[in-house]
Amino acid sequence: MQFKHFSCLLICLFSLWACNQAQESKTRSEPGPTSENRIFLSLEGDTLGPVQKSEEEWKAELDGQEFNVLRQAGTERAFTGKYWDNKKTGVYVCAGCGLPLFSSETKFRSGTGWPSFWAPIRKDHVWLKEDRQYGMTRTEVLCARCGGHQGHVFDDGPKPTGLRYCINSVSLDFVEGAKMAEKP
Identify the three-state secondary structure at position 51: coil
- Residue 19 designated active-site: no
Side by side, which strands form the sheet with 172-176? Answer: 100-103, 90-94, 172-176
> What would you measure as the largest C-alpha separation in the chain, in angstroms?
97
Is-contact 177 35, C-beta < 8 A? yes
CB of 126 to Fe ion, least distance (A): 10
- Give the integer Cα–Cα distance in Å for 150 and 95: 9
- CA–CA separation, 143 and 52 (whole Å): 12
Q: How far is the CB of 39 from Fe ion (least distance, A)?
A: 19
If the CB atoms of residues 96 and 151 are measured against Fe ion, the closer one turns out to be 96
User: For Fe ion, which is the closer residue by CB, 158 or 180?
Assistant: 180
DSSP state of 145: T
Q: What residues line the site for Fe ion (CB under 5 A)?
A: 94, 96-97, 99, 143, 145-146, 148
The residues assigned a catalytic role are 166
